[in-house]
Amino acid sequence: MTALALPAGRAPRQSVSRDDLVKRGLMVAISLYLVLSLAAPLYVMLSKSLSTYRFDLTQFEFQVSDETATVWSKPKTAAALNAELSALAPEDLRAGSDSRLATTKFFKDFSFRSPVKYRMRGTVEDARWLVGSAPGGGTEWQEFDSNSFRRIMLRPTQSFGLDNFVAYFSTPSLSISIRNSALMATISTAITIAVAFGLAYALNRSRMSFKGLFRLVTVIPILVPSLLPGIALVYLFGNQGLLKPIMMGYSIYGPIGIVIGSVFFTLPHAFLIISTALSVADARHYEAATSLRASKWRTFWTVTVPGARFGLISAAFVVFTLVITDFGLPKVIGGQYNMLAVDIYKQVIGQQNFEMGAVVSVILLIPAIIAFAVDRIVQRRQVALLSARSVPYQPKPNRRFDMLCLAWCSVVAVFLVGIIGICQLAALVKLWPYDMSLSLKNYAFDLMDGGGWASYANSIRLALLTAFFGTIVVFTGAYMVEKTQGFSAGRSAFHFLAMLPMAVPGMVLGLAYIFFFNNPANPLSPIYGTMTILVICTVTHFYTVSHLTALTALKQMDAEFEPVAASLKQPFQKLFFRVTVPVCLPAILDISIYLFVNAMTTVSAVVFLYSTETQLASVAVLNMDDAGDIAPAAAMGMMIFYTNVVARLIHAGVSGLLLSRTQRWRDR
Amino acid sequence: MDDARLRQAGGREAALSSQCIAECTNPMGNPIMKSRSPAVLAAFAVTLLSSSAFAETTLTVYTSVEAVDLDRYKQTFEAANPDIKINWVRDSTGVMTAKLLAEKDNPQADVVWGVAATSLLLLKGEGMLEPYAPAGVEKLDQKFVDSANPPAWVGMDAYVAALCYNTVEAEKLGLTPPKSWADLTKPEYKGHVVMPNPNSSGTGFLDVSAWIQIMGEEAAWKYMDGLHENIAAYTHSGSKPCKMAASGETVIGVSFEFPGAKAKQGGAPIDIIFPSEGSGWEAEATAIIAGTANLEAAQKLVDWSISKEANEMYNVGYAVVAYPGVAKPIEHLPDDVASKMIKNDFEWAANNRAAILAEWAKRYDGKSEPKS
């Protein structure tokens, strides 16, 4: 009873140490980076998609004289004139930033030969029109003879609303892309998953030989821009292609090309995920199936596939997202088959219609976000397949089955190597198909569009800078979020920001950067057009996977390290540099090579952001192909491939060396 | 070219000449002066004049001229105007136009030199160009000069629509060469014609706008309906159809004359055909961006860009240039390319561009199934 009389004490609160403050400060700094490089640009882009243009007919007022040009009619607004004539329906008044509307539409019996004169003025200050091509405006009456008056074009005014979306969905040539993109992504996903599953199954569940070789070959598509399979398909199945008869009269330009190319460039992603899922299995399940006399077929569907289901679902969503957001491949091989990502490029570069580009971007965000969300939910439901009592499954030799697996892997390997091989061949041929002699003239990049050899040097610079700064930012961020005590609101906010880039297609990110950084009011605008913005954009674009890699490595480290260091009165940075970084070195090296390779091959985000001084090799491939210089484009693509191969070899060498020196504790 | 590096180089030159001033005004240094030849003295005088008050200006010039021509244009100009340095910013016409429009409220360029006149008309409508009548503008062919006075832009040269026709593939397929635009709708060419998409290529738009101007609106759309049946692909760029014809990827590429001549030079089995009805064309033009801090230097550049010397320089690649009487025939092109050009109304084209493109997309862009 007496206890009740005691006053309630202060709720216990963990005191915040200096280390925690530093960690939180760093976390806030990196969050701020992600906000500025991701959230803010996306927000600006969303608002841009709502910025509409419309002809406001009440803004313009007219007077008409009689034939002697002395007596003037009462002033009437264009809106009133339109109401009398019903010349234009409301949907005709919807406009783009570049639209013009001839004033003569409001005067039924207009003739440029008549002596009638016209006066016009704006009813508001910002009414704008063109006299021919010269800008005009203002609220003062201005007089024109009929021949000048026919050259007057009204300009639209800017407002805010959903008009752009209405216009998008009422223009079939635009909205058909949604269906096309979804269809291509679905078909490609189905095929890629099937192929990748076969490959992963062969490499994990058989005793075939050359497994290491096939694992190496599977990596190839990661090392090249997605444009390259498109170029290869032109040389293989185009009208002068080596294998044209196989096409039986169908054109490679369009859905067929998009699907084949998509399978090529998404295969390694699907393979890695499914292979991980298939690499662990509990032998007891198979023993049970055998003792229940289940057929091999039945075992496969009741044990193997369910065991790998999370991997399969995850792979399917990754592939779907990759295909629907990819820009390079449909740009090269898509022909007339409109796809969402290419539409953004066509709207912005072809028609300078930034608002419609933003609309398509918003639409492209939707499937990517859904795929991302579903993938997250599925992963959360995944349970450990291997318990402590599991017996690892060991495939038994089976000559027939192993030969079958070898055959399947060989088919896939021939496909992958063939695509790369044909590009190298095309790059070396003088004038396909009329002069098949070899020459190096396609490597004279300085004579082509796209920035020449300087763009190749720029790409390497971008890749090195991205790998260096990206690794530091990503790993520091991951450490702060993983090893900080308390501050859970901030940590989950950070985690959300770090996962967001996965759901943002490159084209969308690039366009958002134009809107955000190319705005004189933004104090950060000086970085527009520099290497800095390319590095920031690339780091942000590939943030999520790097972040997850770092988190995985950090989670493997016992949380006791920090308290122990604190109890020994060691500052956290000492622990970080003396223990955490060395232990996580393999992951850190993996992050840097991942960023390097992707910075070399990325096109989608940077295509809107490069400037004359910062042209990139991957963009040069795109631009040379665009100009019709396909062989030089293939040559540049192969330069990227070889550079990435060398980078990976160096990475392997350095990792091996460092690991043998810093990871000896693992062998204990 | 790196802007900072250029400026640094300019500074070094100026420093050198000021060092010379110090040395040469030294009364004890007379013997050195005497031993100099008149030519060296003249050069010295020029250096003195041009370096007076460090007058060197760097102009940021946006351009879409061919990458190969950039250095040649820069060197020729800078030799004639040693006090002005050019800092090129180059990209394709579409990208350049998008960039210029995006920078509307914060222009980065001083001058545009070698960008399509139709694009410059868009900029003019936004009030982004500084009107200026360059010295000698009256000598130019007037269809290369903006209609306003003073003109907002002045032309340099023209690229003219033409067909690239692959003779080897045509023979295999037993086709006869087309002579006119109308021929392209013949059933024999089904699936053998490639043209640029006007919604993403300036060349594509100049074709469409020329057809409307030649045939009249209704007939032109009817013609394009027929043509669409024969089109194998619409490309994103204007030179690609010709290069596709050059590599046998298609038989007929609707393109322009310049890539055709280049491909033929490289050994491609193509003929360059100018359709009998006449060809659409686009001028490459020069203009000053309003608000430039270097107006005087910009005007000097525009003055020079329409000079006879400059036009001779353009003629290396382009068959038609703005200065009458300068153009010499280009290898693989007929002598009278200029006579194939229709009377092109740039203002009409610019003012109707948005509507034409929307109509085109509605008719042909939605039909996505490619024909084999």
Q: Closest partner residue to B268 among A337, A434, A452, by Cβ?
A: A434
Q: How far apart are CA A185 and CA A181, in angstroms?
A: 6
Tokens 């058989």 map to which residue? A206
B148 touching A, CB under 8 A? yes
Which residue from A338, A348, A520 is facing B98, i.e. has the nearest CB?
A348
- Kindly state the DSSP code that residue B166 receives in the 8-state scheme: E
Domain boundaries, chain B: 1-55, 160-281+337-365
- b/e per residue B320-345 (b: at least 16 CB within 10 A): bbbbeebbeebebbeeebbebbbebe
A residues 451-480 closer than 8 Å to B (CB): 452
Residues of chain A positioned with their CB less than 8 A from the CB of B197: 346, 350
Contact A251 B241 (CB under 8 A): no
- Could B247 and A626 be called an inter-chain contact, meaning their C-beta atoms sit closer than 8 Å? no
Contact at CB, B365 and A173, closer than 8 angstroms: yes
**Whole-angstrom distance, CA of residue B81 vs CA of residue B56:** 10
Question: What are φ and ψ of residue B122, in 5° steps?
Answer: -60, -45
Q: Which residues of A touch B98 (CB under 8 A)?
A: 348-349, 352, 354
CB contact under 8 A, B106 and A520: yes
Measured between beta carbons, the chain A residues lying within 8 angstroms of B357 are: 351
Describe the strand order of the beta sheet including A142-145 as a list of residue ranges: A76-77, A60-64, A117-122, A142-145
- Which of B101, B352, B366 comes nearest A172 by C-beta? B366
Q: Is A274 on the interface with B (CB under 8 A)?
A: no
* Structure confidence at residue A353 (pLDDT): 84
How many CB atoms lie under 10 A from the CB of residue A313?
A: 20
pLDDT value at residue B117: 93
Q: Please report the pLDDT score of residue B10 as a whole number.
A: 38
B 6-25 residues inside an 8 A Cβ radius of A: none
Structure token pair of residue A224 = 């090249």
**Contact indicator for B94, B42 with CB cutoff of 8 Å:** no
The CATH number given to B160-281+337-365 is: 3.40.190.10
Which residues, other chains included, contact A559 with Cβ-Cβ below 8 Å and sequence gap of 6+?
A483
Which chain A residues are closer than 8 Å to B267 by Cβ?
Answer: 430-431, 434-435
ipTM entry: 0.83
Determine the distance in angstroms separating the CA of B353 from the nearest CA of chain A, rounded to an integer: 8
Q: What is the pLDDT of residues A303-339, one digit of tens each?
A: 888 888 888 988 998 899 999 999 999 999 988 888 9
pLDDT recorded at residue A15: 65
**Distance between CA atoms of A15 and A244, rounded to whole angstroms?**
73
CA distance B201 to B244: 16
Q: What is the pLDDT of residue A385?
A: 60
Which tens digits make up the pLDDT trace of A19-32? 788 888 888 899 99
pLDDT of residue B162: 96
Q: How far is CA B31 from CA B22, B26, B28, B355, in A?
A: 15, 11, 8, 75
Question: Residue B37 and residue B31: Cα distance in Å, rounded?
Answer: 12
Residues forming a β-bridge with B195:
B234
Across the interface, of B98, B152, B246, the residue whose CB is closest to A352 is B98
CB A75 within 8 A of CB A63: yes
The pLDDT, as a whole number, for residue B11 is 38
Residue B366 and residue A98: Cβ atoms within 8 Å? no
- Does A151 contact B at CB distance below 8 Å? yes
Q: Among residues 92-121 of chain A, which lie with CB inside 8 Å of chain B?
A: 95-96, 98-100, 102
Strand pairing category for B154-166 and B111-116: unpaired
Give just the sign of the alpha carbon dihedral A330, B166, B158, A148: negative
Q: Give the mean pLDDT of A609-625.
A: 90
Mark yes or no for CB contact B152/A133 under 8 Å.
yes
- The reply to whether A546 touches chain B by the CB within 8 Å rule is no
CA distance, residue B266 to nearest chain A CA (Å): 8
A181-210 residues touching B, CB cutoff 8 A: none
Q: Give strand pairing partners of B86.
A: B59
Choose, out of A44, A45, A91, A133, the residue to mutate when testing the contact with B (most B CBs < 10 Å).
A133
Q: From the list A99, A240, A525, which residue is nearest B249 (CB)?
A: A240
**With contacts defined as CB-CB under 8 Å, which chain A residues touch B232?**
251, 253
CB contact under 8 A, A432 and B247: yes
Helical H runs in A206-237? Answer: 211-219, 227-237
The pLDDT of residue A665: 66
Q: Is the CB of A626 less than 8 angstroms away from the CB of B369?
A: no
Contacts of A626 in chain B (CB under 8 A): 92, 236-237, 240
Q: Where are the alpha helices (DSSP H) in A280-353?
A: 283-291, 296-299, 305-307, 309-325, 328-333, 340-345
pLDDT in tens, A360-399: 999 999 888 887 788 778 777 776 666 677 788 888 888 9
Q: Report the phi/psi class of residue A487: left, alpha or beta, with left for phi > 0 and alpha for psi in -120 to 50.
A: left
Quote the pLDDT of residue A346. Answer: 85
Q: What pLDDT is stored for residue A619 in this prediction?
A: 92
Q: Shortest CA distance to A19 belongs to which of A572, A615, A597, A508?
A: A572
Fold of A166-439: MetI-like fold (1.10.3720)
pLDDT value at residue A14: 62
Instruction: Report the percent of chain A where pLDDT is more than 70.
Output: 97
Q: Find out whether B340 and B274 touch, Cβ atoms under 8 Å.
A: yes
- Shortest CA distance from A155: residue in chain B: B125
Confidence of residue A285 (pLDDT cuts 50, 70, 90): confident
Q: What's A18-50+445-667's CATH class?
A: mainly alpha
The structure's pTM equals 0.86
Surface of B (345-364) touching A: CB under 8 A? 346-347, 350-355, 357, 361-362
- Phi/psi region, residue B54 (left: phi>0; alpha: psi -120 to 50; beta: rest), is left
Q: Give buried/exposed letters for A415-448 (b at 16+ CB in 10 A, else e).
A: ebeebbebbbbbbbbbbbbbeeeeeeebbebeeb
| Subunit contact A172:B362, Cβ cutoff 8 A | yes
Q: Which residue of A has its CA nearest to B118?
A: A133
User: For A137-150, what is the mean pLDDT?
Assistant: 90
Task: Provide the pLDDT for residue B4.
Answer: 40
Q: Please state which of the ranges A82-91, A274-283, B8-17, B195-204 shows the lowest mean pLDDT.
A: B8-17
A136 and B CB contact within 8 Å: no
Distance from CA of B243 to the nearest CA of A (A): 5
Q: What is the pLDDT of residues A340-367, one digit of tens each?
A: 999 998 888 877 788 999 999 999 998 8
Q: Tell me the mean pLDDT per 10 residues along chain B, length 372.
A: 38 37 37 44 48 69 87 93 90 81 85 93 92 94 92 94 96 95 96 90 91 95 95 88 94 93 92 95 95 94 95 91 91 89 90 88 66 37
Which residues of chain A are in CATH 1.10.3720.10 domains? 18-50+445-667, 166-439
